[in-house]
């Protein structure tokens, strides 16, 4: 008996599992190309349906705005459109922090220890900084209390598996400072000689373009003007001409694109993508997100942007943006026209109304629309609405200008006007986060 028990036929080593699909994180990043792999992984997370693949863009349109509503055709987005969400949904909370975790893996890697081109490594780290800034900005505009009378922002996470695994919320202003710092850092680290020009990766001026967006949102007008001007002065981008406007939504790497996420025939969100929710299509899609009937009246007949709209039976639809019904189109994250409009608004706010008018009319003149005779806040917001329609900007524009969500149409999912400051204008922190992290504070108006 002792003989048998004593003879170790199978040892601990016989029990070593294979890991054919994975590598250990420890020792898994030893070259610049390994770093590039993680970077692409982070981009891939941004394409997920819960983030830029669909939800964050749709939310910017349907959350009680005057652009779109959910007809509930497949039951999708009625909750968001009626602002009746609760903490059960994680919405973009998990998606954003996943991106941030990957960005932190890249940022936290000591580039000097890697084999390969150091400059290339820094270019990737620069992209990771911008990604981290953008993801935190998306969190902040979704969960931050800036429009509901509070001061809390979100945890700004800068380390992968760092010391504080239960972070508390920082203030909105601290978040903004961190975002700006990351964007500047990203800009300084990147070197566009490493950029492939595909627009599918963040480049140097993506950092500045996003900086102008964040600055506009938080009213840092001179910062916005400087950043936008830097993009414009780069000469790398141009406004797409009227004749090409509709077709610019088909295909890739258009001249007005600063940064777009890659979707292709083999890598797309399919039925969980933008096209499937914006249209019914000939074969039947979800088609929940319909356009309010009065949106058509925004556009002059000569305005090429009117061609983005169309009808399915008597339902007004987004026909032209993200046209491929399988979601094969790249999704622009920031395009040049937005930067021009950011610049116009920043100039107006810093006292240069004529400069603002010039910028504003660069848009109208390329769209077949009548030029404005004066630049004021309403005109700029109106032009932003028309130009950036269906791209997820409307809710934020209403919020940052302190406007109510006004019930003007029977079609809107909100039951009545929701005044600026209402607790529903901030998303609840997800219950899963609240359960785990007793440092986390819930937004007002949401139970357990």
The residues that bridge with 229 in the sheet, in sequence order, are none
Q: Are 96 and 68 in contact (CB under 8 A)?
A: no
Q: Which is nearer to other proteins, 157 or 210 (CB)?
A: 157
Q: For residues 297-320, b (16+ Cβ closer than 10 Å) or e, as one string?
A: ebbeeebbbbebbeeeeebbbbbb
Q: Are 256 and 196 in contact (CB under 8 A)?
A: no
3-class DSSP assignment, residue 358: helix
Measured distance CA(267)–CA(45) in Å, rounded: 12
Q: Which is nearer to other proteins, 50 or 368 (CB)?
A: 50
Q: Are 54 and 277 in contact (CB under 8 A)?
A: yes
Q: Is the dihedral of CA 322, 328, 332, 333 positive or negative?
A: positive
1 contact partners, CB below 8 Å, separation of at least 6: none
3-class DSSP assignment, residue 12: helix
Q: Which is nearer to other proteins, 154 or 344 (CB)?
A: 154
Q: Which is nearer to other proteins, 21 or 112 (CB)?
A: 21
Q: Which is nearer to other proteins, 27 or 351 (CB)?
A: 27
3-class DSSP assignment, residue 127: helix
Nearest partner of 134 among 233, 408, 142, 115, judged by Cα: 142
**What's the min distance (Å) between Cβ of 148 and other proteins?**
14
Which DSSP string corresponds to 40-89?
HHHHHHHTSTTTTTTHHHHHHHHSS-SSEEE--SSS-SHHHHTT---TT-
Beta strands in 112-253 (DSSP E): none
68-70 and 289-291 beta bridge pairing: antiparallel
Q: Which is nearer to other proteins, 368 or 428 (CB)?
A: 428
**What's the min distance (Å) between Cβ of 340 and other proteins?**
27
Q: Which is nearer to other proteins, 12 or 373 (CB)?
A: 12
**What's the min distance (Å) between Cβ of 415 and other proteins?**
9
**What's the min distance (Å) between Cβ of 16 and other proteins?**
7
Q: Which is nearer to other proteins, 105 or 225 (CB)?
A: 105
**What's the min distance (Å) between Cβ of 266 and other proteins?**
5
Query: Would you call 105 exposed, middle or buried from its count of C-beta atoms within 10 A (0-12, 13-18, 19+)?
Result: buried
Q: Which is nearer to other proteins, 161 or 377 (CB)?
A: 161
Q: Compute the half-sphere exposure of residue 382: CA atoms within 13 Å on the CB side of its CA.
A: 16
Q: Which is nearer to other proteins, 235 or 265 (CB)?
A: 265
């Amino acid at each position: 008996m002792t003989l048998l028990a004593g003879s170790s036929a199978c040892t601990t080593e016989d029990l070593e599992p294979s890991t054919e699909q994975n590598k250990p994180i420890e020792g898994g990043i030893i070259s610049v190309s390994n770093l590039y792999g993680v970077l692409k992984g982070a981009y891939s997370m941004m394409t997920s349906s819960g983030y830029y693949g669909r939800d964050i863009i749709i939310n910017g349109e349907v959350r009680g705005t005057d652009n779109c509503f959910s007809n509930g055709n497949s039951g999708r987005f009625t909750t968001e459109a009626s602002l009746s969400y609760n903490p059960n949904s994680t919405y973009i909370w998990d998606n954003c922090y996943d991106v941030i975790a990957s960005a932190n893996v890249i940022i936290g890697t000591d580039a000097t220890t890697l084999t390969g081109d150091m400059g290339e490594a820094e270019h990737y780290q620069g992209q990771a900084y911008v990604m981290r800034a953008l993801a935190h900005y998306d969190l902040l505009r979704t969960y931050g209390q800036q429009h509901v009378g509070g001061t809390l922002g979100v945890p700004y996470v800068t380390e992968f598996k760092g010391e504080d695994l239960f972070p508390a919320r920082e203030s909105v202003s601290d978040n903004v400072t961190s975002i700006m710092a990351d964007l500047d850092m990203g800009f300084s680290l990147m070197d566009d000689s490493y950029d492939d020009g595909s627009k599918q990766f963040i480049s140097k001026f993506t950092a500045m373009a996003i900086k102008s967006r964040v600055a506009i949102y938080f009213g840092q007008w001179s910062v916005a003007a400087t950043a936008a001007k830097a993009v414009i002065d780069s000469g790398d981008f141009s406004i797409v001409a009227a004749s090409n406007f509709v077709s610019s939504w088909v295909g890739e790497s258009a001249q007005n694109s600063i940064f777009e996420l890659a979707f292709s025939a083999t890598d797309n969100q399919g039925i969980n993508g933008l096209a499937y929710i914006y249209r019914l299509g000939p074969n039947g899609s979800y088609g929940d997100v319909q356009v309010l009937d009065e949106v058509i009246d925004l556009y002059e007949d000569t305005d090429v942007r009117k061609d983005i709209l169309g009808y399915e039976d008597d339902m007004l639809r987004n026909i032209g943006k993200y046209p491929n019904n399988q979601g094969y189109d790249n999704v622009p994250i920031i395009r040049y026209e937005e930067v021009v409009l950011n610049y116009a608004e920043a100039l107006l706010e810093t006292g240069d109304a004529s400069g603002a008018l010039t910028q504003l009319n660069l848009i109208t003149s390329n769209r077949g629309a009548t030029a404005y005779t004066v630049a004021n806040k309403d005109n700029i917001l109106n032009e932003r609405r028309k130009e950036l329609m269906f791209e997820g900007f409307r809710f934020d524009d209403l919020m940052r200008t302190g406007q109510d969500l006004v019930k003007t149409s029977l079609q809107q999912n909100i039951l009545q006007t929701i005044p600026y400051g209402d607790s529903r204008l901030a998303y609840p922190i997800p219950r899963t986060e609240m359960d785990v992290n007793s440092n986390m504070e819930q937004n007002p108006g949401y139970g357990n």
